[in-house]
Amino acid sequence: MSTRDTCWLNKKIANKHYQTYYLAEKSPLATTIRAEFAVLFANASEVDEKDKATIVFERVLNAKLGVEGFEMTVSENVVTLSATSDKGLLYGFYHLYTQLAQDKAIQTIVSVPDQAIRMINHWDNMDGSIERGYAGESIYFKDNKFRRDFETIRDYARLWASVGINAISINNVNVHKYETRLILEENLPEVKYIADIFSSYGIKTYLSVNFASPKIVGGLTTSDPLDEGVNDFWAAIAKNIYRAIPDFGGFVVKADSEGEPGPFTYGRGHDDGANMFARALAPFGGHVIWRCFVYDCAQDWRDRSIDRARAAYDHFIGLDGKFDDNVTLQIKLGPIDFQTREPVTPLFGGLKKTNHIIEFQITQEYTGHQKHIYYLAPVWKEALDFDTKVNEKENLVKNLLKENSVISERSGIAAVGSVGMDKNWTHHKLMQSNLFAYGRLCWSNQLTSKEIAEEWLALSFDLSQEAAEKVLAILLTSRETYEFYTAPLGIGFMVKPHLHYGPDIDGYEYDRWGTYHFADRNGIGVNRTSIDGTGYAGQYAKQREAEYNDLATCPDNLVLFFHHLPYTHVLHSGKTLIQHIYDTHFEGVARVENYIATWDVLSEEMPAADFENVKTLLQEQHRVAKDWRDQVNTYFLRKSGIADEKGRHIYA
């Protein structure tokens, strides 16, 4: 029996009325529903006649439900869950469970996912390590072999299926020696074991592939996407994979990025590279997801004409409409790299004729390594609700993903996962909230961050209303708290290079990665205006361009992303820039101290292991927050020569 944390699936339904169910289907997904009844309901029993059941599952023809939606109706104390597919029935089951587990009234509802693709990207390596992973080793691999811990993978699949995730890529997008061979017949039986488990929970499995595979494992002298032999190689690979795994999802590709090979090597475009994979996968209904994280990672800090923020748009906007229908571009939500605050990338609203998905990051690479509390739902919610203002009507990202994709079923959301072999999956108990929030928000874009957090708390713990409100307040303020004690006003980075944890204000300032803040004795920030800066602001629609160009309308929390400003510049808040830096860094630490005090009074209500886990990690968060406060405040006092007007102690 598994000893892993069951997260938000930890309550058994003891409701005596809802314990008998009728399910005629016999598919693997129907078998999963039966297995879930056995685990999640105290005394569930299957009956062979509808009129004997209090929960009835039925397949229907109903176009409004699509392939994955469901309808739940209540009549005379009988709940009927209807769907056009067994996958829809599974999602309906989990919805019913969560309502009963929260003691909510069972109400009629039609629920259809807002986004078609709801995907998790793993950055797992076959040696067992996870790139940017902070919760233990890979659940899939160890010592360059498959871990074969199928119970853990099944537990993991349950969690994601319960919040509607329908696709997972299992290996790192930076595809190394052993991972390059995952596409070969020698490894397909092991991939199939994993894929079959995920498939039984309605989740398609993808592999990240190495663009240079034809040379590395195919015996060819080139990986040119227009070479006939290279195309034959990928066609044969796809045929073998689908012979072994008929419902295989497809490939995820990172190319021409951060040292990874790609079509640029051969003078080809990204459309050439992506369409090569698309042709190989098309006969089997396969799908290629092509990442747009492409930029010059060998930048000369002396050259201010190069702006990393421009890169994705510059590389891909001219290719709009040139990709095959089974290609989807995967675009990070911001133009840099998952910083605490970034503008939404202008490719959303810019692309009009290409399938695309937005990429989030659940793993806390720049947001505290799952040692700091950082509830990410507000970040994702802001991105999805962002109005691109591409014309007079409202043009929100969450709608444009579907509307501006050629095939809406090839649009949606992906996120970099955060789990490992730690028993609680995420290292920090409270950061399970980000797993839950991601799935719920993918399915229901209209949910608020607060609603999702409340739901997660109710399912994960048995807390008094007072205690739940205390934890809720911590979660809902955690993003701003972290932002307060780290890099200010959208400037980003200032972290220890490569590790990306803890402060190092100038750590990347003279490096090759294009992540500069340009602080000097007079001011700080990057001029990205289209007036006299890098021109990045000009990639947006005219209304947004004007907003970001003008200090009178540029939001304070992004002002250093778009402008280089003197320390005496007065923000919309009425504070000078330098005073804002001092105030927020002192307040950020004070908030963490308040979190610690708040958490200490919850010892009687929280399970002991969860209480100790969070208590210990709050001490680490406090230690690092103080480092940030002291180093940032000292740095800018020395740079500016301007004292804190409140006279607090800063190490000069």
- CATH code: domain of residue 38: 3.30.379.10
Let me know if 511 is a catalytic residue: no
Is residue 81 packed enough to be buried (19+ CB in 10 Å), middle (13-18) or exposed (0-12)? Answer: buried
Tokens for 497?
């290079």
Mean pLDDT of the chain: 97
CATH number at residue 218: 3.20.20.80
Please tell me the number of Cα atoms within 13 Å of 98 on its side-chain side.
Answer: 22
In a domain, 619, yes or no: yes
| 316 and 454 assigned to the same domain | yes
| 515 and 405 assigned to the same domain | no
Please tell me the number of Cα atoms within 13 Å of 534 on its side-chain side.
Answer: 23
| 59 and 142 assigned to the same domain | no
Comparing CA positions, the residue from 185, 189, 191, 190 lying closest to residue 204 is: 191
Let me know if 520 is a catalytic residue: no
Q: What helix, strand, coil percent values describe the chain, rounded to 5?
A: 40, 15, 45
For 120, residues 6+ apart whose C-beta sits below 8 A from its C-beta are 160, 165, 167, 168, 169, 362, 414, 415, 416, 417
Which of the following is catalytic: 258, 403, 462, 612?
258
Is residue 286 packed enough to be buried (19+ CB in 10 Å), middle (13-18) or exposed (0-12)? Answer: buried
pLDDT of residue 391: 87
Domain boundary pick from 88, 111, 134 = 111
Which of the following is catalytic: 114, 155, 260, 365?
365
Let me know if 337 is a catalytic residue: yes
Contact 206, 252 (CB under 8 A): yes
Domain boundary pick from 80, 111, 142 = 111
Instruction: Estimate to the nearest angstrom the gap between the alpha carbon of 253 and the chain centroid.
Output: 17
| 584 and 501 assigned to the same domain | yes
For 508, residues 6+ apart whose C-beta sits below 8 A from its C-beta are 493, 494, 495, 497, 515, 516
For 374, residues 6+ apart whose C-beta sits below 8 A from its C-beta are 364, 367, 368, 431, 434, 478, 479, 482
CA 631 – CA 650 distance, rounded (Å):
9
| 104 and 146 assigned to the same domain | no
Pick out the chain residues at pLDDT < 50. Answer: none
Contact 639, 521 (CB under 8 A): yes
In a domain, 540, yes or no: no
In a domain, 552, yes or no: no
H-type alpha helices, 102-222: 150-162, 177-180, 188-199, 213-216
For 210, residues 6+ apart whose C-beta sits below 8 A from its C-beta are 175, 179, 180, 216, 260, 261
CA 552 – CA 556 distance, rounded (Å):
10
Containing 483, the helix (H) or strand (E) segment is helix 465-485
In a domain, 177, yes or no: yes
| 122 and 99 assigned to the same domain | no
Tokens for 237?
């690979």
Structural domain count of the chain: 3
631 φ/ψ angles, rounded to the nearest 5 degrees: -70, -40
pLDDT of residue 260: 86
CA 471 – CA 454 distance, rounded (Å):
9
In a domain, 547, yes or no: no
| 103 and 214 assigned to the same domain | no
Instruction: Estimate to the nearest angstrom the gap between the alpha carbon of 75 and the chain centroid.
Output: 39
Is residue 54 packed enough to be buried (19+ CB in 10 Å), middle (13-18) or exposed (0-12)? Answer: middle
| 272 and 389 assigned to the same domain | yes
In a domain, 478, yes or no: no
Torsion, CA 625, CA 631, CA 633, CA 638, rounded to 10:
180
3-state secondary structure 77-132: CEEEEEECCHHHHHHHHHHHHHHHHCCCCCCCEEECCCCCEEEEECCECCCCCECC
pLDDT of residue 1: 55
| 427 and 364 assigned to the same domain | yes
Torsion, CA 489, CA 491, CA 492, CA 498, rounded to 10:
-150
pLDDT of residue 503: 98
Contact 632, 585 (CB under 8 A): yes
In a domain, 395, yes or no: yes
- The residue range of the domain holding 502 is 485-526+564-640
pLDDT of residue 126: 99
For 569, residues 6+ apart whose C-beta sits below 8 A from its C-beta are 523, 551, 576, 577
Which of the following is catalytic: 36, 71, 155, 337?
337
CA 581 – CA 492 distance, rounded (Å):
13
| 95 and 196 assigned to the same domain | no
Instruction: Estimate to the nearest angstrom the gap between the alpha carbon of 21 and the chain centroid.
Output: 35
CA 633 – CA 494 distance, rounded (Å):
13
Using one digit for the tens of pLDDT, what is the confidence trace for 455-471? 999 999 999 999 999 99
In a domain, 391, yes or no: yes
**Distances 375 to 168, 279, 285 between C-alpha atoms, Å:** 22, 40, 36
For 201, residues 6+ apart whose C-beta sits below 8 A from its C-beta are 29, 32, 90, 157, 158, 160, 161
Tokens for 45?
């029993």
| 177 and 277 assigned to the same domain | yes
